Chain A
Amino acid sequence: MKAYYAILLITTVVLTGCTEVLPRQRGALALPQMALTPDPLEFGFRQHTAFSKEAAGGGYGGGGGGCGCN
């Protein structure tokens, strides 16, 4: 139920908070530090080092299998 309310809250924020952004106004969004994953190689190493030591998984893109670490 908590997750349901959280999804509802985020959806509401997204729908009400969005503004028209013209292509010429998107310069800041294209900066490397604004990428969802600014350093993919380091992120991959970090993410799966943590993944091999923790039970949680998923959420991030790419999927992929091959882990027997449970």
Chain B
Amino acid sequence: MGWYVSSQDKSNFVACLSVAALALPGLMQTALAGRVEETYNADFQYGHYSESSSRIDVNTYEGALSAPIGKSMTASVSLVRDIVTGASPKHNELDSQGSIKQIVSGASKKALSSECGRSICDSRDGITPSVTYFFDNGSINLNGGFSRENDYTSRYVGTTISKEFNKKLTTANFGVSLAFDEINPTDRPALKGSKTSQQYLLGVSQVINKDTLLLSNVTFAHNTGYMSDPYKLVFFYDNGMFVDFRPDTRPREKFQFAWLTQYVRHFGDLNDAALHIDYRFSTDSWGVNAHTAELSWHQPVGDGWQIAPRVRYYSQDQADFYQEVGTDLQAKYYSSDYRLAGFGAVSAGLHVSKEIAGLTPLTHLKFQVGGEYYNHSASYQLGGNNAGDFADFSYYLITGSFNLRF
């Protein structure tokens, strides 16, 4: 795998996307527990991400292949390349009126002379192999992953065990994953570090009746190591006067607990439409409690076409050590990262698919396109927030994909 990089100030955004590919085998596994995949599958997806104020733009290309091995195994591999350009917030500061301003990395001369003319020009390559063995009432999946970019390398291994019982109406899932990440920040060798993450999943999915499914998962994660953002700073003020700036400094340990419930309901009278409702509560030892709710309606409209509108709401409160600007030089931990602030986000999207079955020699072909608009605002936080709008932003996503089964 090759990669090129020419970046001055870059965020960890690319690294974040790596998990997108890594998580896929697990998701598919959950959906297919106990069912042997008897066909070859090929998937390709193009995705585009664009943030407001000309901040980050990402183009992502992903390909996945899966194949049966004998009568009881399926092997798959996924490859992904992300190309990222743009700029990201570095710190907050006070202006002459005492109002908070968010400072973005993209304005320097150094940035404008970079390869792509922006402060961030980067790409990432990742690979994710996976094997699933199916037995009479369940399955075992083993997966791994490797992803690399200029300043971030990630390796992970994981397993998911699914067991069906109660006449296959109930499926229990147990998953473990371990990740080992190394960060080597561009132009900041002193901030080199590593991080270890472990996550455990316990879940149950239940057939409630012939039209209804319910899934409930809990996950527990423990992360240790370098979790600060090496490209972010905190500016400190005393009575409105600038006194110092320091690198973003966070605890080296984090526990995180999440509980997810998914409800899926079929409506036979409405041309086999399906309603999906997801709710997730998440809490961590840094003091961030978050609620995520999503609702989507999947409506077949004939001739293999399907339209699925969706809405999502997210709200989190701030981390214990978050400060809009620094006020306490004695504090052990401090961060002005907008992702650790209190805020809410509303998004809406549409997904359209067209399925063509019975093609020879292709047995199945499916095209899908999707779009989503996401709006982040401090004022959307559950229970209110008077932080002001200096960190508000929005983004949109576009995806296009096809799936071939033969």
Neighbouring B residues of A45 by C-beta, 8 Å: 17, 20, 45, 47, 60, 62, 397, 399
Binding site for A on B (CB under 8 A): 11-13, 15-31, 43, 45, 47, 49, 60, 62, 64, 143, 145, 147, 152, 154-156, 158, 160, 167-169, 173, 175-181, 183, 195, 197, 199, 201, 203, 205-211, 213-221, 227-229, 250, 256-262, 264, 266, 268, 272-274, 276, 280-282, 284, 286, 288, 290, 292, 298, 300, 306, 308, 314, 316, 319, 337, 339-340, 345, 347, 349, 351, 353, 355, 368, 370, 372, 374, 376, 395, 397, 399, 401
B104 to chain A, nearest CB (A): 15
Q: Is the CB of B15 within 8 A of A69?
A: yes
Q: A46-B397, A56-B280 are in contact. List 15 more A-B contacts (CB 8 A).
A: A7-B259, A29-B207, A29-B211, A40-B27, A54-B345, A59-B282, A60-B27, A61-B173, A62-B26, A63-B26, A65-B178, A65-B180, A66-B155, A66-B179, A68-B181
Q: Looking at the assembled complex, report how far the CB atom of A15 sits from the nearest CB atom of chain B, in whole angstroms.
A: 9
Contacts of A64 in B (CB 8 A): 19, 22-23, 26, 145, 156, 158, 177, 179, 199
Q: Are A56 and B19 in contact (CB under 8 A)?
A: no
Task: Give the distance to chain A from B25, nearest Cβ to Cβ, in Å.
Answer: 7
Q: How far is the CA of A54 from the CA of B282 in the complex (A)?
A: 11
Say whether A67 contacts B27, CB under 8 Å: no
CB contact between B376 and one of A36, A48, A53 (< 8 Å): that residue: A53
**Is there contact, CB below 8 Å, between A39 and B368?**
yes
Bound complex: CA A10 to CA B137 (Å) = 25
B26 and A66 form a contact (CB under 8 A): no
Q: Find B213's partner among A34, A54, A55, A66 (CB 8 Å cutoff).
A: A34
Residues of B within 8 A of A56 (CB): 258, 280, 282, 288, 290, 292, 314, 316
Asked if B372 and A59 sit within 8 Å, CB to CB, the answer is no
Give the one of A26, A37, A67 with max B CB within 10 A: A67
Q: How far is the CA of A3 from the CA of B291 in the complex (A)?
A: 12
Q: Which residues of A contact B21 (CB under 8 A)?
A: 44
Number of A-B contacts (CB under 8 A): 281
- Choose one: A35, A49, A54; the contact of B31 (CB below 8 Å): A35
State whether A59 and B339 are in contact (beta carbons under 8 Å apart), knowing that A33-B306, A52-B16 are contacts in the complex. Answer: no
Contacting pair B339 A65 (CB below 8 A): no
**Does A12 make an interface contact (CB < 8 A)?**
no
Of the listed residues B27, B215, B368, B399, the one surrounded by the most CB atoms of chain A closer than 10 A to its CB is B27
How close is B225's CB to chain A, nearest CB, in angstroms?
Answer: 10
Residue in contact with A42 in the complex, picked from B180, B292, B395, B399, CB distance below 8 Å: B399
Would A18 and B169 count as touching, CB distance under 8 A?
Answer: yes
In contact, A65 and B197 (Cβ under 8 angstroms): yes
Asked if B284 and A42 make an inter-chain contact with CB atoms under 8 angstroms apart, the answer reads no
Residues of chain A contacted by B177 (CB below 8 angstroms): 62-65
Q: Decide: A69 near B12, CB < 8 A? Known: A55-B340, A58-B257.
A: yes
- Say yes or no: A48 contacts B211, CB within 8 Å: no
Task: Sample 17 A-B pairs with CB under 8 A, ordered by A number.
Answer: A10-B261, A26-B210, A39-B353, A41-B24, A42-B370, A56-B280, A60-B217, A61-B160, A62-B160, A62-B177, A63-B176, A64-B179, A66-B145, A67-B16, A69-B15, A70-B228, A70-B337
